[in-house]
Amino acid sequence: MKITRLEAWEVRMPLKEPYTISYETISETSNVFMRVETDYGITGYGCAAPDLPLTNETAETVLSAFRSVIEPGLKGKDPLRMTWHLTRLKKFLSEQPSALAMVDMALYDILGKVAGLPVYMLLGGYRKHIKTSFTIGIMPIDDAVEKAIECVKRGFKSLKIKGGVNVEEDIERVVRVRETLGNRIELRFDANQGYTVENAIEFVDAIRARNVDLELLEQPTVKEKPGWLGKVTRNVTVPVMADESIFNLRDVFKLARRDLVDMVNIKLMKCGGISEALLIDSVASAANFEVMVGCMDESALSIAAGLHFALSRENVAYADLDGHLDLIGDPTDGTVILKDGVLYPQNKPGFGFLLD
C-alpha cells in the first residue's frame, strides 16, 4: 500500500457561546484537516487543533509543517508503517504536537479501515462508551447556575466548572451550583493555573466546610512550578489533576517520580496523538494515576480520536470530550454520538468518518 496524495486545509469555526478561562476568552477556533489517499482506495483523515497559548501553534504553522515536512515525508510511503513514520516526523515536529497528532490520527484511521475495525477495538476495546463532562466557563455566579441547570436538562451528569481568577467567587460559584443541582451531578473544578498553593488550599477547605463534594481539582497552579502541585496534593482532600503540566512521556515520568499529583489529563493535541498517549497512559498506570482524556476546541473527528483512545484503556476513568459541541460549521459533525451525556463511537472502520 502506498500513499498517493495528501491534502490539508484550515476551517475556522465560531463558537455558539464564547467562554472564558483564567487566561483568555475563546469565541472562535481554527482546525486544520488532513486527507491521506492511498492506492488501495482507502482514505484516512486527521485533524489538528492548534492552540497558541498551550501548544504554541497556529493554523498557519500547522499548514507550513504539512507542506515542508508531512507531505514530502509521507507521499509514496506505506501508511501502515506507523511507528516508523511517527518516529521520523517527531524529530521535525517535536514543537508542533497538534500537527503530529493530525498525522497520527490519519494513519490510525487508515489502519482501522484496512482492518475493517473501529480504532478503539484495535487498541484493546476495554469499553464501548464513556461519560463526558460539559465545561462551564468563568461567568457571573447566577449565569453559571443557569448554565448548569441547562446542561443537566440536556442530559449531562458531570460538569466541569472553570475558575482561577477570583478564589472567593470560585467558592461561591461551586457551592451555588452544588446547592442547585444536589448531589446527583458530578462536579469538577479547573483553575487553569490561576491559583497559588494557598489559594488552592483555601478553595478546597472552603467548599468542604460547606459540605460540597468535588470529583477533582484540575491544574490549580502554574506548570513552571511542579513542586507547587505536590504541595497542593499533600494538603487537600480532593484528588489533584495535572493538565498544562503534562505534554509528553517525560512530563508524566517526572510527576510520577515525585508523586506530585493523583491524576493526569491526556490531550492528544498536547502530546502528539494516540501513539504517545498510549505511552503516557502506561506510565500513569504504573504510578497508580487515574487518567482523564481531555480536549481543546476540536472538531468531532478530533474528539473521536480522543474517544477511541479513552475506550481502549482500563485506567482512563474520566472523559472531558466536549470541545466539539458548540462549534458552528464543523465538517466532521456526527463522527461521535452523544446521548444523555455519554459518548459513543460510530462503530465503523477507523474513526467512522468519510468526507464527501
d(CA 47, CA 105): 7
Catalytic residue among 104, 170, 215, 218: 218
The C-alpha angle 60, 65, 69, rounded to 5 degrees, equals 165
Q: Is 297 marked active-site? A: no
Active site residue 162: yes
For this structure, is 190 an active site residue?
A: yes
Active site residue: 90, 147, 160, 162, which one? 162
Strands (DSSP E) found in the chain: 3-20, 25-38, 43-48, 130-131, 134-136, 158-162, 186-190, 216-218, 240-242, 263-266, 290-293, 316-319, 336-339, 342-345
Note the residue count of the chain: 356
Active site residue 348: no
Of 190, 297, 320, 330, the catalytic one is 190
H or E, element range at 251: helix 249-257
Q: Please give the DSSP secondary-structure letter assigned to residue 110.
A: H
Active-site residue, selected from the candidate residues 104, 109, 243, 322:
243
Specify the DSSP class assigned to residue 96: -
Beta bridge partners of 336: 345
Give ∠ CA 193-197-199 in degrees, rounded to 5: 80
| Catalytic member of 90, 147, 231, 267 | 267
Q: Per residue, what are the HEC states of 177-201?
A: HHHHHHHHCEEEEECCCCCCHHHHH
Q: Are 232 and 258 in contact (CB under 8 A)?
A: no
Indicate if 147 belongs to the active site. no
Q: How far apart are CA 27 and CA 144, in angstroms?
A: 18
Of 304, 266, 300, which Cα lies nearest the Cα of 13?
A: 300
Q: Catalytic positions, please?
A: 162, 190, 218, 243, 267
